[in-house]
Amino acid sequence: MRFTKAFIATALAAAVSTAAFAEEVKVIGVSIPAATHGWAGGMNFHAAETVKRLEEVYPGLDFVLATASDPGKQVNDIEDMVATRNIDALVVLPFESDPLTPPVQAVADSGAWVTVVDRGLSVAGIEDLYVAGDNTGFGSVSGDYMASKMPDGGDIVVFRGIPTTIDNERVDAFTAAIEGSGINVLDMEHGNWNRDDSFTVMQDFLSKYPKIDAVWASDDDMAIGVLAAIEAAGRADIQFVLGGAGMKEMIKRTADGDAMMPANVTYPPSMIATAIELTAVGLTSNAPVSGSFVIGSVLVTQENAMDFYYPDSPF
């Protein structure tokens, strides 16, 4: 059978390559939160894909991928990686900053390379490389787009996420960006990055305000709830809804020219891939990769939407 042959061939190749590089195999540990919501699901997908790809590209690298459902589990994961796999580098997306700072510091003190992704640690200077999304940029790109799309101003409602620093940074930057544009924020409410919550909140906004020109849903999950509420109410006054984070279904709608979804702003879960790739480059070459790498939030419109469409990703 062809399958069996291919399998044996792969196994042999793997065995040979392992033997050849046995002395110099370096281990990279990747510790990330489990896929408990859409964005994290996408991040898990990209982490697994990247690990699979890089294991083929670099025979001298071995990867350990662990997902944690709470900060305590993540601390255990990292301790296990150090104790049992003797990792040479750690790529970590901390569940929470405070509880993860001491264990990651211990890894750094042991001489291993540390890459921190998205959420910073509580103490500066631990990590060798910091890869993060740009929340301020996310807010200001969204605000600038709203301002340009509504040159004569108008009344909007704003959906906020779960009350966190991330949410505050985004909303502050958004508010600064629309200042002086004539856009009036009627109301802001927390939709908690959740479809059901934002559906309910949007229904109530529709009862409260007879005329709403546009909605900054600030997240694609919330945009789904908002759109369902508008559709159910049969209201024609809302011209468009701006989501965010680049969920594939929403990117598709933008690509197809849906007038209600004219744009999106990225906050890519694939930033974990950037972090793993750069760490691998750092371990295997002389290219310097230390420092910080901020992934800009990009405006997606119908013209460039297909560049951001990942049909295989769960997000």
Q: Which stretch binds another protein (CB under 8 A): 16-24, 54-62, 73-81, 185-193?
A: 185-193
| Chosen residue from 200, 239, 284, 302 binding another protein by CB under 8 A | 200
Compute the least distance from the CB of residue 287 to another protein, in Å.
33
Determine, following the binding rule CB under 8 A, whether residue 208 of this chain makes contact with another protein: yes
Q: How many CB atoms sit inside 10 A of residue 279's CB?
A: 28
| Chosen residue from 95, 145, 205, 267 binding another protein by CB under 8 A | 205
SS (H, E, C) 268-314: CCCHHHHHHHHHHHHHHCCCCCCEEEEECCCEEECCCHHHHCCCCCC
Q: Which stretch binds another protein (CB under 8 A): 95-103, 121-129, 289-297, 307-315?
A: 307-315
Determine, following the binding rule CB under 8 A, whether residue 217 of this chain makes contact with another protein: no
Q: In terms of Cα–Cα distance, which of 288, 281, 294, 279 is closest to 112?
A: 279
91, 275 contact by CB (below 8 A): yes
Determine, following the binding rule CB under 8 A, whether residue 199 of this chain makes contact with another protein: yes
Rounded to 5 degrees, φ, ψ at 81 are -60, -40
CA 151 and chain centroid, separation: 31
Determine, following the binding rule CB under 8 A, whether residue 80 of this chain makes contact with another protein: no
Interface with another protein: number of residues (CB under 8 A) = 39
Determine, following the binding rule CB under 8 A, whether residue 194 of this chain makes contact with another protein: yes
Determine, following the binding rule CB under 8 A, whether residue 225 of this chain makes contact with another protein: yes
What distance in Å separates the CA atoms of residue 33 and residue 66, rounded to the nearest whole number? 8
Determine, following the binding rule CB under 8 A, whether residue 189 of this chain makes contact with another protein: yes
What residue ranges in 110-208 does DSSP mark as E strands? Answer: 113-117, 129-133, 154-160, 183-190
What distance in Å separates the CA atoms of residue 5 and residue 242, rounded to the nearest whole number? 51
Tokens of 303: 């013209």
Q: Which stretch binds another protein (CB under 8 A): 50-58, 141-149, 221-229, 281-289?
A: 221-229
Compute the least distance from the CB of residue 309 to another protein, in Å.
15
* 67/141 with CB nearer another protein: 67
CA 132 and chain centroid, separation: 9
| Chosen residue from 233, 281, 283, 299 binding another protein by CB under 8 A | 233
Determine, following the binding rule CB under 8 A, whether residue 224 of this chain makes contact with another protein: yes
CA 226 and chain centroid, separation: 21
Region 125-184 residues binding another protein, contact defined as CB under 8 A: 160, 163
* 81/157 with CB nearer another protein: 157
60, 25 contact by CB (below 8 A): yes
Q: Which stretch binds another protein (CB under 8 A): 128-136, 146-154, 226-234, 256-264?
A: 226-234
Rounded to 5 degrees, φ, ψ at 65 are -110, 125
264, 220 contact by CB (below 8 A): yes
Region 25-54 residues binding another protein, contact defined as CB under 8 A: 34-38, 40-42, 44-45
* 61/202 with CB nearer another protein: 202
Compute the least distance from the CB of residue 30 to another protein, in Å.
16
For the chain, counts of helices (H) and of strands (E): 10, 12
* 130/315 with CB nearer another protein: 315
- Binding residues for another protein, rule: CB under 8 A, are 34-38, 40-42, 44-45, 160, 163, 187-190, 193-196, 199-201, 203-208, 221, 224-225, 228, 232-233, 249, 313-315
